[in-house]
Amino acid sequence: MKHLIFCTAAVFILSTVFARDIPAEESICEQLLSITLQAPEKKTDVSYLGIEEAGSFRITDIPCDVLLVEIFSMYCPHCQKEAPNLNEFFRLLRNSDRFAERIKMIGIGVGNSAFEVNYFRKQYDIKFPMFPDQDFAIHKILGEVRTPYFIGIKFEKDGSTTVFLSETGPRGKPEVFFRDLIKRSGLE
C-alpha cells in the first residue's frame, strides 16, 4: 500500500513538473515565423520545400498555403510509434491532386543533432524534411512542449498567418488526420 501511495504521488509530482502548457497560438506563430533553418542537404527536400539549395531559410520562404510542423525527438517512444502513421499521412498528402502543393510538412527534432535526425529518418523511412534542434533553441521558443507536438500554420492571401492546430500527442489514423487537417485549415 505504501508503494502504491508513493508511486501515485511520484507520478503526480513528475507529471506536474514535466507538463507544459500549450502555448498560445499567436505566440507560436510569431516565434515560428522568426525561426531560421539550414537548407537541407537532400535535393529532393529542397525541391519539395521550394527553397534555395544553400544557406538558411525561414518558414515563410516555403511556398504553400498550409505548413504542418511536427516537433519530435528520436528518443521519444510516442514519436517512434507515430512515425508509420505520419509516413502514411505524408503519402496521402503527396498523392493528393488538390493539396500536394498547397500543404507542406516538416519535422523538427528537439535536442537532436543532425546525425540523430538522420538516424531517425532512416530508421523509420521518413520522407518529409526533418531538421535538428540540437541546442533546444526552437523547443524553448515553443515553451518546451511535449513530443510529438503538431503545429498547423495557414498562410493567408493577405500575407498574415494563422495557427489553426497546436496540439500534443499522436494523430491517429492518417486518413482521419488528413481530413481533419484540411477541414481545420479551411482549405476545403
pLDDT at 29: 61
Distance, in Å, from the CA atom of 116 to the CA atom of 105, rounded to the nearest integer, reads: 19
pLDDT above 80 (res 5): no
pLDDT at 133: 95
Distance, in Å, from the CA atom of 110 to the CA atom of 21, rounded to the nearest integer, reads: 17
pLDDT above 80 (res 16): no
pLDDT above 90 (res 64): yes
Torsion of CA 22, 130, 36, 168, to 10 degrees: 0
pLDDT at 27: 62
Closest CA to 62 of 140, 143, 148, 128: 128
Segment 18-41, tens digit of pLDDT = 334 445 455 666 777 778 899 998
Count of other CB atoms within 10 angstroms of residue 159: 7
In percent, the amount of the chain with pLDDT more than 90 equals 64
pLDDT at 17: 32
pLDDT at 149: 94
CA distances from 98 to 15, 101, 146, 187 (A): 42, 8, 32, 10
pLDDT at 4: 35
Count how many Cα atoms sit within 13 Å of the Cα of residue 75 in the half-sphere of its side chain. 7
State the pTM of this model.
0.84
Most confident of 34-48, 52-66, 117-131, 136-150: 117-131
Segment 68-127, tens digit of pLDDT = 999 999 999 999 999 999 999 999 999 999 999 999 999 999 999 999 999 999 999 999
